[in-house]
Amino acid sequence: MANVAVIGAQWGDEGKGKIVDWLAERADLVVRFQGGHNAGHTLVIGENVYKLSLLPSGIVRGTPSVIGNGVVLDPWALRAEVDKLRGQGVAVTPDTLMIADNCALILPFHRDLDALREDASGAGKIGTTRRGIGPAYEDKVGRRAIRVCDLAHLDDLGPQLDRLTAHHDALRAGFGEPPIDRAALLDELRGIADFVLAFARPVWLTLNEARRRGRRILFEGAQGVLLDVDHGTYPFVTSSNTIAGTAAGGSGLGPSAVGFVLGIAKAYTTRVGSGPFPTELQDEIGQRLGERGHEFGTVTGRKRRCGWFDAVLVRQSVAVSGVTGIALTKLDVLDGLETIRICTGYRLGGRVLDHFPAHAADQAAVEPIYEEIPGWSESTAGARSWAQLPAQAIKYIRRIEELIQCPVALVSTSPEREDTILVRDPFAD
């Protein structure tokens, strides 16, 4: 049986939470492998709604869940999220949650720096969630991060703090901010250390043992491929690699462990924050998609920009992330549209492109080339089999498969976990 990696094939917010929850019931372990608490996954189970930012989606089902070393961890955000879930009746214990002891920490001054930079950027804002994700990754790569394992050795942090504060105090001075209060920082770390360390362990050992025993591992990505720091719409991207290949390095398992790669894509396109968006609609159809799709960010509450399905971008995501099959979500949002458009290419300066260019100026300048297909008047909401879908909706799905050069493995027709059409079982591959 295959392990499965779930990633976003667009700009995030594709409905990964529901799909991971649907798959987690059949998995033995669920692993978050990159990102931080800027991710937002909403799970709807019966009448209960769970909004997760940092915790793997399997935690709600009681599936043992792992925060891998590729994640940057805000310990105070973790405690708040655990407390909230416990208040909703979800058990979060060291048996159900494991945190890699080599995770880098997000600290209060990372959040400060994130906000200071955004405020100083004016019209050039990246659109970060101001949660300190990027600055924490910078410190990790700069080899000055404080990690989960350091919480057990706070009295020995002196040399690390010297390097860390020397770097950040200079940055803070440039913004007119005072130096980091080292004593206050240590007090905050002492206050949170025992909580975090209760969940900490060398999870790579746990995962490798699970793999040897033939356990099913579900890798859960955050954001989407188009926000990947290398392959996304740079510089309007996140600070980590969001492609499926990161599941190996961000968990401590080798590349051969990843298995089936399930890319999640909406039946249309959305984006939160700044950056290029070739198929964006600023008319009544875009407004309709946003209203029917309830397009507001789980983490930020920001209104999402909406547009037609961009087959060029999703085809690119499929290629760079090795996607095996697509889970198409929110098909029901398109119900009732007389005509539906799909972007099949771009025009740029008299040229026709079959890919998204790398340079930001070119990305902003491309014009979409559309193919129009008839819509459908019948409802697809709640459909659980092909037989319950209108013929034209099936044609739309088949055309998407042709254009992105990847089969559709699942179709989601509402936020409810059971309203899912299974075409190809990822765990059976």
Catalytic residue set: 13, 41
CB–CB of 404/367 below 8 Å?
A: no
- At residue 307, the 3 state secondary structure works out as strand
- At residue 24, the 3 state secondary structure works out as helix
Separation of alpha carbons 161 and 146, rounded Å? 8
For the packed helices 108-121 and 182-197, what is the interaxial angle rounded to 10 degrees?
Answer: 120
For the packed helices 108-121 and 158-174, what is the interaxial angle rounded to 10 degrees?
Answer: 20
- Single-letter amino acid, residue 338: E
DSSP H or E run through 369: strand 367-374
Separation of alpha carbons 58 and 38, rounded Å? 18
- At residue 410, the 3 state secondary structure works out as strand
Nearest to 69 by CA among 211, 200, 262, 258: 200
Nearest to 321 by CA among 404, 237, 399, 234: 404
| Lookup: tokens for 74 | 């805000």
Tokens 């459908």, located at residue = 376
CA dihedral 183, 187, 189, 192 (to 10 degrees): -170
